[in-house]
Amino acid sequence: MPSAVDSLLEQGQHHILLNLEGVASIDARGLGELVSTYMVVTRSGGQFKLLNLTQMLRELMMTTKLQTVFDVYETESQAVDSFAGDALAAAEAVPGPSRNIQNASSLKDH
């Protein structure tokens, strides 16, 4: 996943949505990757959000308190709209061109 995220960031795609549909569980290493990815994207001025968590993953996020770190969405349209809302709020705070919203629906195996 890190190389895929680095590639997206290099292409100027700073709004990244990771679709976890079908992911039954994540081990400690996987959670570390998610947190690391979140930090890399955030430090580059972007946003990293999660989509389609299973009930087990939701419980894991609550147990580890990571639900306070990640924005999690049930539908892709809600997640994409959240990027637009964040960009609108930023545009209102800082004059300039609007941001390009990109969606990486899955970074599995990268």
Q: Which residue has the higher pLDDT, 32 or 107?
A: 32
Length of the chain: 110
* CB contact at 8 A, 37 and 70: no
Environment class of 50 (CB within 10 Å of its CB; exposed 0-12, middle 13-18, buried 19+): buried
The architecture (CATH level 2) of 2-93 comes to: 2-Layer Sandwich (3.30)
For 50, the 3-state DSSP assignment is: strand
Q: Which two tokens stand for residue 64?
A: 């580890």
Taking only the tens place, the pLDDT of each residue in 22-49 is 998 899 999 999 999 999 999 999 999 9
Task: Please give the model's pTM, rounded to 2 decimal places.
Answer: 0.74
Q: What percent of the chain has pLDDT above 70? A: 77
Q: Indicate the average pLDDT of the chain.
A: 80
Alpha-carbon gap, residue 93 to 1, rounded angstroms: 32
With CA atoms as reference, report the closest residue to 27 among 68, 56, 69, 70: 56
pLDDT band at 86 (very low <50, low <70, confident <90, very high): low
pLDDT band at 88 (very low <50, low <70, confident <90, very high): low
